[in-house]
Amino acid sequence: MDFELTKEQRDIAKAARKFAKGEFADRAEEFDREETFDEAIFKKASELGFVGIFIDEKYGGAGLGTLEQCILQEEFSAVDLGMSAAVLSACFGSEIIAAYGTEEQKLNYLSPLPRGEAVMGSAFTEPDAGSDLAAVRATAVREGDEFVINGSKIFITNGTRADYLICFIQTDPENTDRHRRHSMIMVETDREGFKAKRLLGKLGIRASDTAELSFNNLRVPCSNLVGEPGNGFAEAMYLFNLNRIGMAAQAVGMARSALEESLNHVKNRITFGVPLASNQSIQFKLADMYTWMHAGRNMVYEAAWWIDQGKIDHKLIAAAKAFCGQMVVQCADMVLRCMEDTAIWQSIRF
């Protein structure tokens, strides 16, 4: 059992850290405040090979794995989660095309992504269907060689930004198996009947575009169906497993940033004539943060490694996401305790 990253993986982490610190740090507060993002940063990330690294080389990607993607997620999120999401979510849903799409779909939809020539997204959530995905009601009715789509989606990442979206749509509403009623269909956002409204006022991740979508008699060719009819739920679960481990990696990055911010502060903050770091109660907090962060990272790396070996461990992936989600909140609380009143006045990026 080898816990060391390869030289290539260490180089990826180093390059990602350098890019994020150079491109994110000075703009993160602006984008968070204004709820905007500079697409030039996305283009630069694409040129440097950070976008779609898991996409096969045949379609312009680096042909790397889930572990390398998690390394990127950690490094980018350690500087700013919103900007990390804006860059790396540009391929959100491409995993379904890679796993279930036709060769023509892979060439059309995957190839532009690593080059930064297109942005995609995935449309699942509806006002009355979130965690209960099988309750999605947006419909696609076949008419000749086309699907006619009607319905709405909400909280969709890249909704106003994407060139195309892979959408979870009801195609067989009468099926007695509620997990066989839906299919995955590609929707180009320049089609008549598509509307997207950006949602503002989020509590965080504000550099990342989130939108409400509506489909009004929107027509797409039947060739836009990705995978088999009625297999949409299984395809969605495949994607969600990959995304869950990515979200856990984001949490690890933010937790690491919280620890680094805390260490920097307590080493330089002088109280009663000595650095705050000499206080044992502060040392306990730092030790807890390191322990939680390191445990979370090990879970993420193990789950990602197994995915790259061809084994999707649902239980481990879910455990990693659940643990890391709680862990990063605890680390955020600890950094505020370590920085005391300074945290009220100082912008802390993690």
Q: What would the DSSP string read from start to end of 211-246?
A: EEEEEEEEEEEGGGEESSTT-HHHHHHHHHHHHHHH
> Would you state the pLDDT for residue 340?
72
pLDDT at 347: 56
DSSP conformational letter for 278: G
Residue 349's pLDDT is: 56
Structure confidence at residue 339 (pLDDT): 83
- Axis-axis angle for helices 280-308, 314-339 (nearest 10): 160
Q: Is 118 exposed, middle or buried (0-12, 13-18, 19+ CB in 10 A)?
A: middle
pLDDT band at 102; cut points 50, 70, 90: very high
Looking at per-residue confidence, does 256 or 1 come out higher? 256
Q: Are 308 and 66 spatial neighbours (Cβ–Cβ below 8 Å)?
A: yes
Pairing of strands 164-170, 120-123: parallel
pLDDT of residue 348: 57
What is the predicted pLDDT for the residue at 323?
98
Percent of the chain predicted with pLDDT > 70: 97
**Residue 234: which of 66, 96, 91 has the closest Cα?**
96
- Indicate whether 272 pLDDT > 60: yes
Non-local (6+) Cβ contacts of 72 within 8 A are 12, 16, 50, 53, 88
CB atoms near residue 104 (< 10 Å): 9
Query: What are the tens digits of pLDDT across the range 148-200?
Result: 999 999 999 999 999 999 999 999 999 999 999 999 999 999 999 999 999 99
Q: Is the pLDDT of residue 350 over 70?
A: no
Residues sharing a CB contact under 8 Å with residue 42, sequence separation 6 or more, in sequence order:
51, 86, 87, 90, 116, 119
Give tens-digit pLDDT for 110-160: 999 999 999 999 999 999 998 899 999 999 999 999 999 999 999 999 999
Specify the 3-state DSSP secondary structure of 312. Answer: coil
Whether the CA torsion 123, 129, 132, 136 is positive or negative: it is negative
Please give the backbone phi and psi of residue 36, each rounded to the nearest 5 degrees, phi first. Answer: -130, 180
pLDDT number for residue 336: 87
Crossing angle (nearest 10°) for helices 81-88 and 39-47: 60
- Over pLDDT 90: what percentage of the chain? 93
pLDDT, the chain, mean: 95
269 pLDDT above the threshold of 70: yes
Domains (ranges, CATH) in the chain? 7-110 (1.10.540.10), 120-230 (2.40.110.10), 234-345 (1.20.140.10)
Residue 346 has pLDDT above 70, yes or no: no
Average pLDDT over residues 17-44: 96
The Cα–Cα gap between 76 and 79 comes to 6
User: pTM of this prediction?
Assistant: 0.94
Residue 79 has pLDDT above 90, yes or no: yes
Q: What is the pLDDT of residues 319-345, one digit of tens each?
A: 999 999 999 999 999 998 888 766 655
